[in-house]
Amino acid sequence: MSSFQVPVELTNADESLTYDAIVVGCGVIGPCVATGLARKGKKVLIVERDWAMPDRIVGELMQPGGVRALKSLGMVQSINDIEAIPVTGYTVFYNGEKVAIPYPYRADAGPVEKIGDLVRGGNDKVSDDETIKVKDFEDSDRERGVGFVHGKFLQNLRTIVAQEPNITRLQGNVIEISKNKHNEVVGAKVDINGRGKVEFRAHITFICDGIFSRFRKELSPDHVPKVGSSFVGMSLYNAKMPSQNHGHVILGTEHLPILVYQISPEETRILCAYNSPKLPSSIKDWMIKDVQPFIPESLRPSFDNAIAEGKFKSMPNSYLSGRQNDVLGMCVIGDALNMRHPLTGGGMTVGLNDVVLLMKKIGDLDFSDREVVLDELLDYHYERKSYDSVINVLSIALYSLFAADNDNLRALQKGCFKYFKRGGDCVRLPVSFLSGVMPRPFLLTKVFFSVALYAVYVNFEKRGALGFPVALLEGIAILVTAARVFTPYLYAEMIG
């Protein structure tokens, strides 16, 4: 139970009103939907089960595409005053070798779009604080991401929500999505401490209840995520980072991927992949045997201290391709709608870009004209595919390579690393997809198979002239494996 004292204004929402919108959930996406609609003049009720600051190991690294979306929404100052750490790119380790991958040039991504009514008074630009500098985020020639403590970022978003006069905040547990006799959504029933079960009505209800959504099934009973693996996380304190202001991806033929990134001046997050939703019986023993030997030397003191302390957290890694929002009066958005592997840190970027598109599609409509809103939501499903498919497919494909469990995938993993080492476009294009600034799925397809062909070439080099017949057979197997890893997910995202 939370020790958070519930202010009276969080329990006294007026059920006699018909709101323009009800937003279920005040995680990362809910506050952005509510704030955007409120600034467009809509009357919004946002319901959250617990307004106290959460403690989670997800949503701590935001790619440049997410930062750009916050700027478009006029909410980028939510990364200020929380000791957030600027991120300038990645360092990838492979069996002890490493390669630096800086984020793409700002000029390649083009200017940030400012959404009317949402951007005002400089709220599309960061301000200077102890760790975030205007010169880095506004004047630098390259894109910037950011690492932060999730709960602190969330509380900043909630503060922005509290400042909007058109938003009513409510603490309560949504127990039911209300429907009329035609099976159209008309609001939500909320269990409020001290008031009991209260029904609230709205022209449209936004479902933003995240990874473990209770209400995504309102779209369809079979809209259920697949869980294939897990991350085990720890906090490292005062860690000596191999590369300052970089995310770190530690790969190797003998272990699963390890992610390391700084989230405050003192705290660094480490996430260790485990290839099953069911965690090992002794996490500590597994970490010592299968993770510790592969940690870069500079990180070992802080890693060893964290192991000794034994404060482990875990999260399931889920995949769920998006569905059309085809239920009148309802819109599912964020992780409730669509999830990808968290390896690439793209979840907030997809969700926030969905909010940007949503505001452009329906922000200026009269929500009482529910059929018109529904028509726009059907279009929105197809328009979001260009960027969400890139981030989602990339996350699954890279995890398959980086967690290679057969010789063909190991060959692809090695080829991918050597491809990065070539530099130039071999780094610029992949990191543009990863960072969420290049929403071009067919270019991603071309680049992915360029990597696969390069892996075949690397394998031919290794085999030499005498090994040509074997390398030819292996090359075919490598390309077939690449197609199996990539194509079904691209199909699911683009056609599904």
The closest of 344, 330, 324, 190 to 259, measured between CA atoms, is 344
Last residue within a domain, chosen from 266, 290, 317: 317
Mean per-residue pLDDT, 252-280: 97
What pLDDT does 397 receive? 95
Residue 354 lies in a domain: yes
Same domain, 236 and 255: yes
Q: Please give the Cα distance from 122 to 74 (Å, whole number).
A: 8
* 60 or 4, higher pLDDT: 60
- Closest to 427 measured CA to CA, from 65, 6, 104: 104
Residue 78 within any structural domain of the chain: no
The residue range of the domain holding 282 is 226-317
Residues 44 and 155 grouped into a single domain: yes
Q: What is the pLDDT of residues 75-131, one digit of tens each?
A: 999 999 999 999 999 999 999 999 999 999 999 999 999 999 999 999 999 999 999
Reference 353, options 424, 464, 435; nearest CA is 435
Alpha-carbon gap, residue 448 to 458, rounded angstroms: 15
The CATH number of the domain holding residue 338 is 3.50.50.60
pLDDT tens digit string along 309-337? Answer: 999 999 999 999 999 999 999 999 999 99
Using DSSP's 3-state secondary structure scheme, residue 328 falls into coil
pLDDT attached to residue 482: 97
| Residue 98, in any domain of the structure | no
pLDDT at 5 over 90: no
Q: Give the mean pLDDT of the chain.
A: 96
CB count, 10 Å around CB of 130? 11
Residues 242 and 311 in one domain: yes
Distance CA(336)–CA(45), nearest Å, equals: 19
Q: Is residue 478 located within the same domain as residue 379?
A: no
**Domain shared by 29 and 171, yes or no:** yes
For residue 8, the model assigns a pLDDT of: 82
Last residue of a domain, one of 317, 350, 367: 317
Do residues 242 and 308 share a domain?
yes
- My answer on whether 312 and 420 are in the same domain is no
Cα dihedral across residues 62, 65, 71, 74: positive or negative: negative
Last residue of a domain, one of 300, 317, 334: 317
Q: What is the pLDDT of residues 226-249, one digit of tens each?
A: 999 999 999 999 999 999 999 999
Tokens of 177: 């999505």
Does 201 fall in a domain? yes
CATH number for the domain that contains residue 266 = 3.30.70
Choose the weakest-confidence range: 101-105, 106-110, 161-165, 454-458: 106-110
Query: What is the sign, positive or negative, of the torsion defined by CA atoms of 452, 230, 434, 492?
Result: positive
Whether residues 237 and 260 fall in one domain: yes
**Residues 295, 304: Cα–Cα separation, whole Å:** 10
Same structural domain, 246 and 305: yes
* CA quadruple 122, 126, 130, 133: dihedral, nearest 10: -110
Question: What is the distance between the alpha carbons of residues 5 and 7, in angstroms, rounded to a whole number?
Answer: 6
DSSP for 396-430, please give it: HHHHHHHT--SHHHHHHHHHHHHHHHT-THHHHHH
Answer yes or no: is 117 within a domain.
no
Q: Tell whether 247 and 330 lie within a shared domain.
A: no
For position 58, what pLDDT does the model report?
87
Q: Looking at the structure, do residues 280 and 327 belong to the same domain, yes or no?
A: no
323, 223 contact by CB (below 8 A): yes
Strands in 145-147's sheet, in edge-to-edge order, are 61-62, 145-147, 85-87
As for how many domains the chain has, the answer is 3
- Note whether 357 and 345 are same-domain residues: yes
What is the CB-side half-sphere exposure of residue 414 using CA atoms within 13 A? 19
Whole-number pLDDT of residue 496: 66
> Residue 1: which pLDDT band, with cuts at 50, 70 and 90?
very low
